[in-house]
Amino acid sequence: MTLRSLALIGLLSAAALAPAMEEGDLREKDIADPKDPVASVSLKVIIHYAIEVPKAIAPAGTTQPDQQVGLFVCFHGRGGNARGEADAFLGMLKREKLEGQYIVLGAKSLADGWEAVDMPPVSQLITWAKKTFPINPRRVYCFGMSSGGGFCGDYTLAHPETIAAGIMYGSGLWKLPAAKDPVHTMPDIYMNMGLDDDEAHKASARGGYQKFKDLGYHVIYHEIEGLPHTEHHPPTNSDAIQWAVRLRHKTMMPSPEEVALLRPVNKDARTIAADAKPFADVALVGGFAAGEVMTRLLDTKDPAARTLAASTCSLSQFGEGTFTLLARKLKDPTPEVRSAAIAALGPFARWRTPIAQETLIAVATAKRWDLAERQGAAAGLADAVKFQVRGVYQDPPLFRALVTLLDDEDATIRTTAWTALKSIQESTYSPDDPKPKRESALAKWEEWLALITKKESPEQGTTVKKR
């Protein structure tokens, strides 16, 4: 059975199992000033929507962070409807067991596909949702497929004051705004393109990815072998959602209630005990705003608390300062702290955080580190490239490290590296071979490395040939 057939079955199954989302029309009266005698009673439709709200939800206006929810705004493909992507995305959330923490809001374009004219109605819809439900404004994200994927990217980057991140499938975008220091000021984007999609969509995605790179944005880009024009790809669905929910709006200040959660933890950071609650509070606030507190927790006196702090770093993108200090915890005298740090860096290496990648490379390839820690770092590197090995080699340094590990003295490390790389090309290499016998096979891998190092961008030919 082909991946195309599996994708169709998955979509049909999700539609059959999904409960009926509530649909409605946002009208002028819903967002008008009550004092406006005309607009406050106007039934003019602004935009049609579908919405799924968690069953147990606090009332509108709730500001306690642990009672607030996040918001995912979903955009359908050409010819679709408000429920199209919202239903699909809700199914993804349920697989991650996160449906109780987020509102899913599907929007309907004014025409068959999405255009610039749709931006004001979408903004009004988001404003209405934030007024109607207890949404944390630092946790608002976009998701879209095809025409909706392109609009997801366009809207996310056109509204950096509102959106924390965007997830795109089956589309690219061409008009990207230049921004000062976009890594720290603009939303991040996660792009996915199927290699069984048509050439126009692939060209759009590749062009958009290249522009992201040229402008200095943080972008994750995958080309997926065997995937047609669909968003149904559970491995990247899961990865993209887990990535997004760890992000918070980069420049929006935390609320007074969020600051109140951080204040006592910050005050007691040097002497704090290994109690899960304060660490969970820091992760809940999350993002750059909580990064300073997390850096203090990483230096707390109690080894058990430092271990918990290192583990908590896996729950949010706290920023460069936190990850830099987390990397230094690889020299902590407590083995549990070092292991927790390696584990926390792993997913962020996959999500292209430079310090996470650099640290895992350094630990895995240097023999001075403890063998178990080297093995853990090697496993992190293997995981970091799992969506690149049959797509775009977005991070050549990761592949260089893994090729280096093919000749490591430790058989477990060699096997880990080989398992990650073996689907890329035919090879006579075996991790069980003695060193002299490995040499000729390794020469071929060095040739491959030279090729991808010269040709990193997808339009230059670093995507794999179909098998």
Question: pLDDT tens for residues 360-376?
Answer: 999 999 999 999 999 99
DSSP assigned state of 270: T
- Quote the pLDDT of residue 41: 84
**198 and 88 in a common domain:** yes
Region at 47 (left for phi over 0; alpha for psi -120 to 50; beta for the rest): beta
Q: What CATH number did the domain enclosing 92 receive? A: 3.40.50.1820
Confidence of residue 9 (pLDDT cuts 50, 70, 90): very low
Continuous segment of H or E residues that includes residue 397: helix 396-405
Q: Is residue 249 part of a domain?
A: no
* Distance of alpha carbon 240 from alpha carbon 311, whole angstroms: 20
Tokens, residue 396: 């050549």
Q: Are residues 144 and 187 in the same domain?
A: yes
Residue 147 in this model has a pLDDT that exceeds 50: yes
Question: pLDDT tens-digit profile of 192-231?
Answer: 999 999 999 999 999 999 999 999 999 999 999 999 999 9
What's the CA gap between 92 and 108, in Å, rounded? 20
Are residues 207 and 83 both part of a single domain?
Answer: yes
Other beta carbons less than 10 A from residue 234's beta carbon: 13
**Overall average pLDDT of the 437-465 stretch:** 75
Q: What is the mean pLDDT of residues 11-24?
A: 60
- The residue among 398, 462, 460, 380 whose CA lies nearest residue 425 is 462
Q: What is the Cα–Cα distance from 434 to 308, expressed in whole angstroms?
A: 41
Cα distance between residue 361 and residue 425, in whole Å: 22
Average pLDDT for 392-401: 96
Question: For the chain, how many residues are written?
Answer: 467
Q: Residue 131 pLDDT more than 60?
A: yes
Answer yes or no: do 273 and 421 share one domain.
no
- Kindly tell me if the per-residue pLDDT of 461 is higher than 80: no
pLDDT of amino acid 455: 62
Q: Is residue 84 assigned to a domain?
A: yes
Average pLDDT (158-182) is 94
Q: Is pLDDT of 246 > 60?
A: yes
Question: 130-159 in b/e burial notation, b at 16+ Cβ within 10 A?
Answer: beebbbbbbbbbbbbbbbbbbbbbbbbbbb
- Shared domain for 395 and 380, answered yes or no, is no
Vertex 152 angle, CA 147 and 154, to 5°: 95
Task: Give residue 39's pLDDT.
Answer: 79
Tokens of 166: 């965007």
Same domain, 450 and 328: no
Residue ranges of E strands in 195-294: 219-224
Number of Cβ atoms within 10 Å of the Cβ of 35: 7
- Largest pairwise CA distance in the chain: 86
Question: Residue 463: pLDDT above 90?
Answer: no
Cα first-last separation, the chain: 16
- The answer to whether position 61 is within a domain reads yes
Q: Which helix (H) or strand (E) holds 190?
A: strand 188-194
pTM: 0.92
Q: Is the pLDDT at 94 greater than 50, yes or no?
A: yes
Q: Are residues 145 and 33 in the same domain?
A: yes
Tally the C-alpha atoms within 13 A of residue 245's C-alpha that lie toward its C-beta: 21
Residue 436 lies in a domain: yes
3-state SS of 274-305 is CCHHHHHHHHHHCHHHHHHHHHHHHCCCCHHH
Domain count within the chain: 3
Q: How confident is the model at residue 264 (pLDDT cuts 50, 70, 90)?
A: very high
* 70 found inside a domain: yes
Q: What is the CATH number of the domain that holds 355?
A: 1.25.10.10
Q: Single out the residue in 384, 405, 437 at which a domain terminates.
A: 384
What DSSP element (H or E) covers 48? strand 45-52
Burial of 189 (0-12, 13-18, 19+ CB in 10 A): buried
Q: Are residues 315 and 392 in the same domain?
A: no
Residue 374 Cα distances to 336, 345, 411, angstroms: 14, 13, 12
Whether 425 and 379 share a structural domain: no
Residue 20: the pLDDT is 67
% of the chain with per-residue pLDDT over 90: 88
Q: Are 406 and 414 a contacting pair, CB within 8 Å?
A: yes
Whole-angstrom distance, CA of residue 200 vs CA of residue 205: 9
- Dist CA 66 CA 19 (whole Å): 26
Q: Cα–Cα distance between 206 and 391 in angstroms, integer?
A: 12
Q: For 302-330, what is each residue's pLDDT tens digit?
A: 999 999 999 999 999 999 999 999 999 99
Q: Quote the DSSP letter at residue 99.
A: G
- Residue 110 sits in the same domain as residue 233: yes
Residue 8 tokens read as: 């169709």
Instruction: Let me know whether 225 and 336 are in one domain.
Output: no
Residue 348 has pLDDT above 80, yes or no: yes
In the predicted structure, residue 18 carries a pLDDT above the cut 80: no
What is the structure's pLDDT at 33? Answer: 86
Pick the closest to residue 235 from 3, 2, 65 (CA basis).
3
Alpha carbon 316 to its chain centroid, in Å, reads 11
Q: Does residue 459 register a pLDDT over 50?
A: no
Domain end call among 384, 400, 426: 384
Residue 194 in 3-state DSSP? strand
Q: Is the predicted pLDDT of residue 160 greater than 50, yes or no?
A: yes
Q: Look over the chain and give the mean of its residue pLDDT values, rounded to a whole number.
A: 92
pLDDT exceeds 60 at position 92: yes
Last residue of a domain, one of 384, 413, 431: 384
**Same domain assignment for residues 263 and 343:** yes
Tokens for 172?
């690219």
- Provide the domain limits for residue 321: 254-384
Residue 467 has pLDDT above 50, yes or no: no
Query: For the residues 279-290, what does the mean pLDDT come to?
Result: 97
Q: Give the pLDDT confidence score for residue 14 in this predicted structure.
A: 45
Q: What is the average per-residue pLDDT within 325-345?
A: 97
Are residues 334 and 301 in contact, defined by beta-carbon separation less than 8 angstroms? Answer: no
Q: What is the mean pLDDT of residues 65-70?
A: 98
- Position 462 scores a pLDDT of 46
